[in-house]
Structure 1
Amino acid sequence: MPVALPPFKEPKMNTLNLQATAVVSRNSIAFVAQVFALYEMRRPLVTVASEAQAANLSGITVDRCITPPEQSGWFDAQHALIHDDLPAQVTYTSGTEGQPKGILLTYANLADAAERIIEQMQMTAEIREYVGVPATFSFGLGRYRAISAVGGRAYMPPRGFDPLEIARMLAAGEINALSAVPTLLRILLASPQVIGEAGKHLRWMEIGSQHMTAEEKRRIRELFPNALIVQHYGLTEASRSTFLQISGASMDSLASVGRPVGRTEVQLSADNRIRIRGPHVAKSRIDGDGLHDLRDAEGWLQTNDLGHMSDGYLFFDGRADDLINCGGLKVVPDLLEVRIRSRLEPGTQIAVAKVPDAQRGDGVLVAAQTDASGTARVREASVAALREIGLEAGSSLHIMSVDAIPVTGTGKVQRSILAAQFASQQSTISNDGNVSAGEVNDVLSLFRHEFPGQTVRPEDTFASLGGDSLHYIQFSLAFEQRFGQLPNSWEQLSATELQRHVGVSEKSIWRRLESVTLGRAFFMICIVALHTNAFIYSSNWGAAYFLVLLAGYSVARWQLPEIIRTGSVRTLLGTVRYVAIPAVIMVAVMQVLTRRFEIMPLLLISNFLDPHTLKGFLFYFIEFYIQLLLLAALLFSFAFVRDAFRVRPMLSAVALFVAVVAIDRTIESFWNTDYNYHRVPWHYAWPFALGMVLAAANDMRTRALAMALSIGSVLVVWGLTSAAFYVAVGCAIVLFVRAFVVPAPAKVIVAEVAAASMFIYLSHYQVIVIVGKVFGEHKPWLELILAVGVGIFLTRFYAWSERRLLRLKS
């Protein structure tokens, strides 16, 4: 429901200031309802990203800031269009370059655009539309405005654009219309079988303004043969300036973006830039100096888009500031992308941008979302495409592999970001390589030292390089030993940003010791102490469960944000490799020394066997830990799972927890694992998922929920025992005490133990055996101390050996 507001007062506006209500942008039905409520009251509104932005707007006095709650589903409220020539809303452009501009739109502007799309699409009250574009963008909100005006219903998907959901709802008759941008429609074109016969049930479709080839439009028409499909071209300042009825267009006109209708006019300037005039064109932009005219004296809006006209149709030729001038030949990035993409496998993600070139003015950068092996194919396709338009680019052509193509919320490629990434790569590529400890003299070289074998650039962060909990501890130790105190949330800062913090903070013997680091060290010592009989922390155990919990916490906190950003699970697979290699080496060494050869431990799956049937050493904790990471990698390889955690991380984590508990109980009902003490991944999945819940809790409400879930879990598993106490207190510390302030030497000791936890686990049984043989009896405390010391030594030795090997290979 919309937030209740005080009685309406006539909106005040002058050349210096506009009084408005701020609404935090959320892709939510509540957001749409709130916007319409403000329309009805004739109260100007401004959409903002956060309350903080609302407090710092230039040229606008905000009387209040409304944050709508999350809500998806159907929107069926009816709101007539308003034709008043009064300020309706300020919308900030989502352009690909420069600072967003505040565009002041009137009710008349909005109504004219809505009336023309209603007329072009022949919309009626029967429309039930799947709005595949966020309501926070002008295209998406425009769909709700038009549908509401004709008395139809609009559906906001809870997980964003979902082809499977679209197909299901079409087949069931729940929807008969769709709105989307070309980027999203290409997902359907890559797998048309997902829609299949259900496409015949679509009656209406609007496609937003991005470049789309005639062939792509033809295929969309075939996918939805009975739909009236309309594509529009426009800007925030001039929404829906031209229309192309794809469903009835000839092949010659399919490549265009249509023609103007109603009172809209389009023409080209002397340098082929598109100019627009009409009642839908905004009059002003707003900033700290007040209002500024967007239109010239004759009412024309001059855009930065290039185009040409043919038979009354407008053809979009890209943005003028994206145009590549390579040796005098003009290259339009959008069109070059089409040529390159046609020579590659379907679905290959590429983008073209211009970069400086000393000889030709502009060079051609082709960024490809592929690994290094795939760049050769992209280069071949790029050379052929450039040759086709008469350009032999030679050394002016650059191919860059990227994890993801940077785009705006509406799918527009951010070419300047690609150019900046390329420039950074070029400035550091000659310095890349494995760095020895003695060569570490700045933050960038420290990153390269701590992430051997990887190409590290100034813009990389700990998270983007695939850092996990063990690397987190090791890196923080190495940084603070050289450069001093780390800032908060340092794992999200680039090497360049971290360098700026060096020497800024005052020197102190005090350091922040994170609670998760303390928890890892404490419970690792508890496990070793239990095995050496130095002390029994709990007769009910529980330490192993808490370490698994910290593993889930690590994935959610350090690795999941990067997985969501890139769509790749390589960070998890990197952790699996980091853990598996030393584990296999240790198993192999022990089998050679004891002459007890078994294949299952070498494959790291012996945890599924009865431990009494095994002859040698087994590392079941490492085994199911790796298996949990692999299952997590499989889970997050699905886009809908990543989207769920991106939009609602806490709810998704709790849902995962409930799911894994149900899976464990289900499997145990027909596969009883008492024989191997339940050393299977699904049995330990609940603390792993609980760790993700703890990491997702970011305010008092969610922390309280996570704490309640933790207490309930430990009571179910252990009852009122010491194990439940230890684990519950550990959860409380992680949730409510982010870090302790301790003397620097104390942090070093605790962090060294925590960082070495894997090697302590791998080697402590061997230490126990050796001490028993040397002294003829067990010496619990000596075994405990030596086990920790040996684990720390092996951790250091392994890291040194890995770097040494990589340096020799390079």
Structure 2
Amino acid sequence: MRRLLDHLRRFADRTAVLTDTTRLTYRDLADRVQACAGELGGQRTLVLLEARNDLDALIHYLAALAAGHVVLPAPEGADADSLIATYRPGIVVDRHGVRRGDTGPHALHDDLALLMSTSGSTGSPKLVRLSHANLAANARAIAEYLEIRETDRAATTLPLSYCYGLSVIHSHLLVGAALILTDLSVAEPAFWELFDRRRGTTFAGVPYTFELLDRVGFAEMRLPHLRYVTQAGGRMPPERVRRFAAMGGRRGWDLVVMYGATEATARMAYLPADLAHSHPHAIGRPIPGGSFTIEPLDGWPDDDTGELVYRGPNVMMGYAEQAGDLALGATVDALRTGDVGRRCGPDLYEVIGRTSRFVKMFGLRIDLQRLETGLADDGVRALCTEAGDRLAVVAAGDHDPEDVRRRVAQSTGLPVTAVVAAVVTELPLLPSGKPDYPAARALAAGDDPADDGSGLTDLFADVLHLDPADVRDDATFVDLGGNSLSYVTMSVRLERALGHLPADWPRLPIRDLERRPAPRPRWWRSWGTTVETSVALRALAIVLVVGSHAELYEVWGGAHILLGIAGYNFARFCLTPLPRPERIRHLRTTIGWIALPAVVWVAFALVVTDDYHLSNLLLANKFLGPHDSMTAGRLWFVEVLVWTLVALALLFWLPVVDRLERRAPFAVAAAFLAVGMALRYDVVGLGLGHDAWFTMLAFWFFAVGWAAAKASTALQRVIVTVVLIVGVHGYFGNSVREALVTTGLVLLIWLPTMRCPAVVAVAAGAIAEASLYTYLTHFQVYPLFGSHKLYGVVASVVIGIALSAVVTQVRARMRDRRLSPRDPAQAPALR
């Protein structure tokens, strides 16, 4: 007893526990624990504790440990009859108080401190035996890699009966940090009021917690003291890891993904926050003091792949299945996780499968075989398998899928929304007669089992002109060098391949794109397809530009919408989480694929027309003149765009600017927008004139698009919208033009995608992809048709599309020649 109490008293007047109405110092906590330990008595026994997230349960837990008892936490409100019948606890502590058991003293091993259940409500009385050394080692390791400080305050978002929730208690009390004790859910406004009022710095979550955070608008919350968020309790989809990591980067907190098991006292691995962008699929590196080995498995011929085996001082003593097992010493020295793993980087590991039919979801470990058996006993023949972060169930016979979902949710303890179900005439089987679980997974998700999404790597390679061997399934469009010039083609072809364009697809790994979501309702699918708003606007804007120049109609403003879209795409495809050299390389490539075609076309036009001057060849007419030519200003849009990108490439080449943008992406974009607005209004009195829309000062439209792409909250989007409306008002001196530009860019800010007939989507994609070539060439094309202005406009668009197709084919041939050397033996050296 003295050792634990001395540890608590060592932190004296530091805050130990906070509730909605109470504050305890470490000295107060030690006094209460000591008094409670005296009430429990000194004869060592097993204490079954109803583990609520309140002060009374915490004090009884610590008091039982301090008095030398062995603690068995049970979930609040759980039916503990089977545990009591099997283990015969000497003391039971629940909401009714403390009561003594009717059994004599247990034979308890001296090292035994804690018994934890390994499963949810489908589990049995099988328990994990943990020692005092296990608890101390794991708490020290967690405190070390999370760098927990005495000033940290952790909210109890997970139950004390769950090893993850209990590890938060252990690790924070170890270093003298504080706990915010609450049983409120993160879905409740009262939780966030308490968290903010008590200056919470951290909280823990399982994958389902992060779904709830999306629903309650977590991204828009002001939490000034939040320092980091941890995630464990099952695999979280990589795209969600990336998104929350990026959100944390913008808001000033870190996301730490972790991997563990009750058998390891809680934690085995962690993914440092700075690796969440580049390795969102990984479980991370071993915790301090622990190590992994990968042991060969039948059916996995790859030497680098096998069962993940963990060793460390936090590995359990062993299992208990009856009261007599509580007297046993350590029976294991390594933990066979049952996960199929492989290395995915220096000292980094990922899990790619399971050796058994257990899955861990929403903090519960579920025995799928036991679940199938239980359903069969209830008259439901079914196959159960994991489908990403959902449990997929396919039942045979005359059943209501919703009824199947509710039964499975009730049996497992999962929320109903975490279960997907389908009913079929016969269960899918392999030719061998064994269950076909991949087919079951596809059926439950509503997919065609024969269509596994394969071919996306080839699709990415084709669009981006890469060697298919260099396109890994964990790479994203952005990782592979995708930019604003290729994303139009990619989005159209991807939507055609998947039937639906996922949100934020440029940042999703290919393998996650292949795991397509369930199809939209039939009424939705029957009307058209999804197209990105930026693609539709790009197509519309270039048609407006060409038609206005050809005097078919007079609807100006398309070029300024294009400039805003250019800023939007710059933020999406150049300011990515990739390392600084990769960012600059992508930006350099983007500049090249805009400037090179422009220079080539101007050179051609110089030979066959009198439209341009040598200054146009340098894309510098606005700098060098002549300014009195009727045709010199035709390429102003390209000049603004190229030199803006060149200037930004030089700025972001500087490490300090690069770091600042990563730390506060929206703030940096807003700062550049402020500079653009200052120039637009000539705030500093440079006397640059008021014809800004036809000069380099049009940069502020680019900055609006940039800020729109980096805006992550409704408030930020409102700010960008207000600046846009204020800036456009009076800018052109033409209300129709101002309304058009404002409407187009407001759609870009607020509406990522839209639905339209499939034929319109295909046409928009082709026109948008060719917008640069159409812009460059239309000045020389439409005059050829004289008074037939409509023909001239159509011809300009068609020729732009044709030139785009030719350039694409040339790039493809260049790639093929690069990847097909005459001497095959040279191939490895050329890759």
**Could you tell me the TM-score, scaled by structure 1's length?**
0.49
**Could you tell me the TM-score, scaled by structure 2's length?**
0.48
